[in-house]
Structure 1
Amino acid sequence: MTESNFKLRMMIITALFAAIIGILAQVTIPLPLVPITGQTLAIGLAATILGAKYGTLSVVVYLGLGAVGIPVFAQMSGGLGSLFGPTGGYLVGFIPTAFSIGYYLEKTSFTFINAIIANVIGMFMVLTVGTAWLKIFANLSWTGALMGGFVPFILVGLIKAVLAAWIGISVRHRLKSAGLLYLEDKKAL
């Protein structure tokens, strides 16, 4: 595969995962402060399948689309107000989360157990960043922020982490077998 074909393929795959994140963001269970969405599942999938660089890039593309006003965030919202409002920390936290999941898997191995570990770490990372941001921007106490933005999401987050690991590793192996996804070193995943 030529360098230009490889870059084009990875740009298309990155854009596809940005779209998947936007679609799963619309799967929402409303809660008082912060809704439960499919975004974190999609972030875990992107990072588990694509690794650190392209998984993170798909998140950056997704956030960029939302920042310019395209309604890709939860509940069909978008714009800078979403990024800099009380729940913006969860969105911003997606960047280090995707990177850490992909990085962990690249440094260990892309196995189901490692993917669970990486996605659980990522889940706690996004909840921590989001809760700290929520505390500051909503002017809440630490107890209020933890009870509204962290505790209600632990069980659901663990379930989504296991799903992202299971689906992500399965899809990654299928793409590897089909030769449809390549890393920068041009080796099939």
Structure 2
Amino acid sequence: MNKEQIKLRSMIITALFAAIIGVMAQLTIPLPLIPITGQTLAIGLAATILGSRYGTISVLLYLAIGSAGVPVFAEFSAGISKLVGPTGGFLVGFIPAAFVIGFYMEKLGFTMINAIIANIIGMFITLSFGTIWLQISLDLTWTAAMASGFTPFLIVGVIKALLASWIGIIVRNRLISANLLFSSNLNQSA
């Protein structure tokens, strides 16, 4: 397979993961201010499988599609108002989370333990961005912001990090063995 075909395949897989994030965002458990969603699981999967570059690009594509008005954000919502609204910090936090998860694994290896550590770090990044943004946008006290945007998501966040690690490593290895994913291409600039 030549370089152009590999690059095209990587772009298609990246777009597919942007779609997966949009689908997983619709899996929600409503809470008073911020729902628990499947987005963070999908972000972890994208970064674990694709690495820092294409995992981050899939998140950026997802955010661009949602900002443009396609209802891919949680509860079939869309628009730039979601990015700048009270819960926008969680969405924006997906960008550095995906990059850090992928970067960590690229540097230390795509193993289960590295995936778990990277996804837990990514969870804390997303929750930190979201909580800070929530506190500022709603002028909450730090205690109220932590109680609304951080603490309720810790246990489920760890569970999603473990799932993203386990499923992500299995899927990544199977895609590579089936020649559907090229690890050397994903870890380098095209």
- Structure 1-normalised TM-score? 0.97
* Counterpart residue identity of residue 148, structure 1: S
Counterpart residue number, 2:100: 100
Distance 1:121 1:108 in 2: 14
* Counterpart residue identity of residue 11, structure 1: M
After TM superposition, the structure 1 = structure 2 runs for residues 32-181 of structure 1, keeping only pairs within 5 Å, are 32-181=32-181
Distance 1:158 1:20 in 2: 20
Distance 2:32 2:186 in 1: 47
Q: Deviations over 1:22-42 (max 9, x none)?
A: 000000000011100000000
Q: 1:9 to 1:185 in 2, by over 3 A?
A: closer
1:183 offset after TM fit, Å? 3.9
| Unaligned residue ranges in structure 1 (runs of 5+) | none
Secondary structure of 1:32's partner? coil
Q: Deviations over 1:66-95 (max 9, x none)?
A: 010100000000000000000000000000
1:184 offset after TM fit, Å? 5.3
Distance 2:168 2:99 in 1: 15
| Unaligned residue ranges in structure 2 (runs of 5+) | none
* Counterpart residue identity of residue 177, structure 1: S
* Counterpart residue identity of residue 176, structure 1: I
* Counterpart residue identity of residue 62, structure 2: Y
Distance 1:186 1:165 in 2: 18
2:176–2:183 CA contact under 8 A, matched in 1: no
Residue identity (%) = 65
Q: Deviations over 1:92-123 (max 9, x none)?
A: 00000000000000000101111000000000
Distance 2:54 2:119 in 1: 16
**Alignment coverage as a number of residue pairs:** 187
* Counterpart residue identity of residue 51, structure 1: G
Distance 2:117 2:61 in 1: 25
